[in-house]
Amino acid sequence: MGEITDIVDDLRERLAASPFHSAFGLEVVDAESGSVTLSWQASENDLNLQGLIHGGPLSTLADTAMGLAVRTAIAPGQRHVTISMQVQFLRPGKPGRMRATGRVVRVGSTVAFAEAEVVDERERILVRSTGIYAVTLLADAEA
């Protein structure tokens, strides 16, 4: 339990230190090793030309949930960089609170696989995504 609290605290600090994430307005709801749940408020400002929540912020939400889930599953001295992401839009979104859960599928020696789901307030799945990440040692990445 102490460990989980530490993971949540660590992710909150990371998000607070990231200019992009601070502006985007994410909240860490829950986290454990290999899994992270985020919350995000979709507003009228996120509507696209068709009056639906734009796929961009929904992709960002799914991407962040997957990336942070990978973060919880690799060593402190390792670093992950997104190689690719696939996003499926199952249902259109409307303004309201969204919840995204990212989950690590597998961490290999150099590549990690993750997935995420975004649900709306009524627990309907709006988005499903998969992501692939390069995992390197920090020293390599800096080099």
| Site for a copy of itself, rule CB under 8 A | 14-15, 17-21, 23-24, 44-50, 52, 54-57, 59-60, 63-64, 79, 81-92, 105-106, 108, 110-111, 113, 125, 128, 130, 132, 134, 136, 141
Distance CA 66, CA 132 (A): 9
Q: Which CB sits closer to a copy of itself, 1 or 16?
A: 16
Contact of 136 with 81, CB cutoff 8 Å:
yes
Distance CA 126, CA 68 (A): 20
We find the least distance from the C-beta atom of residue 127 to a copy of itself, in angstroms, to be: 10
We find the least distance from the C-beta atom of residue 138 to a copy of itself, in angstroms, to be: 10
Q: Which CB sits closer to a copy of itself, 30 or 132?
A: 132
Sequence-distant contacts of 25-29: CB under 8 A, at least 24 apart: 26/61, 26/64, 28/68, 29/99
